[in-house]
Amino acid sequence: MKIKVAATTVDKGYTIQIKRGLLSEAGKIIKRITHDRIAVLTNKTVHELWYRDLHKSFKQVGLKENVIVIPDGEQYKNNRTYNRIISEMLDYGINRHSTLVTFGGGVTGDIGGFIAATYMRGIKLIHIPTSLIAQIDSSIGGKAAIDHPRAKNIIGAFYNPEYVLIDPNLLMTLPRREYINGLFEAVKIAIVRDKKLYKYICVNIDKILDRNARTVEYLVTECARLKTEIIQKDPFEKKLRMILNFGHTFGHALETAGRYNNISHGIAVGWGMLLALQLSYHYKYIDLEKCREIIDLIGKLIGRNKMPKISPENIWITMGHDKKVKNNKVRFILLEGIARPIIREIDKNSFKKALRDL
Ligand SMILES: NC(=O)c1ccc[n+]([C@@H]2O[C@H](COP(=O)([O-])OP(=O)(O)OC[C@H]3O[C@@H](n4cnc5c(N)ncnc54)[C@H](O)[C@@H]3O)[C@@H](O)[C@H]2O)c1
Ligand SMILES: [Zn+2]
């Protein structure tokens, strides 16, 4: 399936293509877009698993690429790695007319997007996302960033690619923990935006967990379509795009507070969605029956993971640092039902009570 991201006043638009086996056509697609040098940015893990296939597709159409391999991990999404990549690009003679292809998860896509936005004031960018998070979330929407020791994603830009090439088959080698991480984002977008997809996930959750190829392809396609629809309506995160923060207000704080417990982003967002549901029920926005169904689904993904031991007071302060506090209230995305998100400001006592009832 091809999803067109329409042109805006500042951008000419681009295509997101999703198909099982699409990696073998990467060379053909990229050749149509670029007529100069190509640098491929990837990480060690993805390089070992999949680079041969990408290289083969380049070779088939006579494309020659330079490859830059970075270490694996969020801790490398920083300005040291940024500078190292720039040095390699200079060594390879990458110029203003060249193209950067990112081939990896959200970390590779984010850092590569920021490189493409800034190297020689901007060069062509193509994303080939390889993790579930990258395929349904980070490669769509043009947000690119690196971390600073004091804050995550704080140095960045909005920069759109020329093309996003998504092959769901790549997800078959993703470690289970990373796959589940992405499923939380899939469930999140379905809950805030699409009844049909939400039902589909509830009915097919076992097939999804088993990574049945057709089911995964459908899920990736629908999530990518929904995210595109949202970013088209709100490219610079002024309003609508905020609904994508469902579960993230509390989730981010939990990640910060629970980092010594090594809590994953997905699980933290899972707990965040459960807390948002608790608050929605507490304020009578949603009835118990609907809540239960959603809780069951999220519970299946959380599995046996326990909520990290946290101090409600600390979490409240951490959420405050996340720019969401206004008049001593924190802004949460709550639910009136599936595809009916609302934004509400919550006071500390209600938050603490919801947390106790979790
Ligand atoms: N730009 C955005 O809008 C946006 C949105 C969400 C997340 N993000 C960013 O994305 C990052 C998280 O993304 P992520 O979870 O993909 O992280 P990641 O890039 O670290 O990938 C997760 C792990 O999966 C491995 N991996 C990736 N593809 C694989 C494959 N096909 N087979 C085997 N292993 C594979 C990676 O090597 C890594 O170990 C964070 O830095 C976050 O800030 C950005
Ligand atoms: Zn997230």
Domain boundaries, the chain: 2-174, 177-357
Res. 238: pLDDT tops 80: no
Res. 322: pLDDT tops 60: no
The pLDDT tens digits for 19-40 are 999 999 999 999 999 989 999 9
Report residue 174: phi and psi, to 5°.
-70, 130
**Which pLDDT belongs to residue 2?**
86
Find the 250 Cα to ligand 2 centroid distance in Å. Answer: 11
Q: pLDDT above 70 covers what percent of the chain?
A: 96
Find the 269 Cα to ligand 2 centroid distance in Å. Answer: 7
Res. 12: pLDDT tops 90: no
Is the beta carbon of 161 within 6 A of some atom in ligand 1? no
**Ligand 1: nearest atom to the Cα of 113:** 1
**Which pLDDT belongs to residue 292?**
92
Average pLDDT over residues 193-219: 97
**With contact defined as beta carbons under 8 Å apart, do 125 and 88 qualify?**
no
**Which pLDDT belongs to residue 120?**
97
The pLDDT tens digits for 239-253 are 788 899 999 999 999
Cα separation, 286 vs 298, in Å, equals 17
Is the beta carbon of 169 within 6 A of some atom in ligand 1? no
Res. 326: pLDDT tops 60: no
Q: Which of 171, 91, 156, 159 is nearest to 126 (CA)?
A: 159
Find the 178 Cα to ligand 1 centroid distance in Å. Answer: 8
**Ligand 1: nearest atom to the Cα of 110:** 1
Domain 2-174 shares a fold with domain 177-357? no
Average pLDDT over residues 193-212: 97
Is the beta carbon of 130 within 6 A of some atom in ligand 1? yes
**With contact defined as beta carbons under 8 Å apart, do 35 and 6 qualify?**
no
- Computed over every residue of the chain, the mean pLDDT equals 93
Tell whether domain 2-174 is in CATH 3.40.50.1970.
yes
- Kindly identify the ligand whose nearest atom is closest to the C-alpha of 152: 1
**177-357 topology per CATH:** Dehydroquinate synthase-like, alpha domain (1.20.1090)
Is the beta carbon of 133 within 6 A of some atom in ligand 1? yes
**With contact defined as beta carbons under 8 Å apart, do 350 and 284 qualify?**
no
Res. 304: pLDDT tops 70: yes
Among 77-81, 214-218, 263-267, 309-313, the least confident range: 309-313
**Ligand 1: nearest atom to the Cα of 152:** 43
The pLDDT tens digits for 98-119 are 999 999 999 999 999 999 999 9
Is the beta carbon of 69 within 6 A of some atom in ligand 1? no
Cα separation, 332 vs 352, in Å, equals 14
Complete DSSP assignment for 225-272:
HHHHHHHHH-TT-SSGGGGGGTTHHHHHHHHHHTGGGT--HHHHHHHH
Sequence-separated (6 or more) residues with CB below 8 Å from residue 46? 103, 104, 105, 108, 130
Closest C-alpha to ligand 1, atom 21: 105
**Which pLDDT belongs to residue 233?**
85
